[in-house]
């Protein structure tokens, strides 16, 4: 997700400050499938929220929204959260691998 698409997304535009903090934290921690495997306490700490603020932010982000097809921005799973609209860009992995090879001297000509 690009910065532009984040700033124009419904969860960002229509959410409270705490929900925004949690949403950005989830985006940073998500794997390539959009899944975040973390416990509530860790996510609250990473988001700089108390457990009460965290619970309110989760409820806000999980609430149905018409722009998201009446789904929430996140869905709770047994081991964390799933981002509803997650688009993984495989170029990011390819670019990261190329940069790593270059740093290790493999990519030098």
Domains delineated in the chain:
3-103 (1.10.10)
Q: What are the pLDDT digits (tens) for 32-74?
A: 888 999 999 999 999 999 999 999 999 998 888 776 666 778 8
Contact 57, 21 (CB under 8 A): yes
3-class secondary structure, 19: helix
Q: For a pLDDT cut of 70, what percent of the chain falls above it?
A: 76
At residue 15 the predicted structure's pLDDT band, cuts being 50, 70 and 90, is confident
3-class secondary-structure state, position 32: coil
Helix pair angle (17-29, 51-62), 10° resolution: 80
Across the chain, what does the average pLDDT equal?
81
Q: How confident is the model at residue 107 (pLDDT cuts 50, 70, 90)?
A: low
* Positive or negative torsion for Cα 41, 58, 9, 91: positive
- Least Cα distance to 1 among 95, 92, 100 occurs for 92
């Amino acid at each position: 997700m690009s910065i532009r698409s984040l700033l124009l997304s419904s969860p960002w535009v229509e959410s409270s400050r705490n929900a925004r903090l949690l949403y950005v934290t989830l985006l940073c921690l998500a794997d390539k499938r959009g899944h975040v495997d973390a416990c509530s306490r860790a996510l609250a700490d990473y988001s700089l929220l108390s457990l009460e603020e965290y619970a309110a932010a989760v409820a806000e982000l999980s609430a149905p929204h018409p722009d998201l097809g009446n789904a929430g921005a996140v869905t709770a799973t047994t081991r964390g959260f799933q981002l509803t609209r997650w688009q993984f860009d495989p170029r990011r992995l390819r670019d990261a691998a190329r940069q790593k090879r270059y740093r290790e001297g493999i990519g030098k000509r």
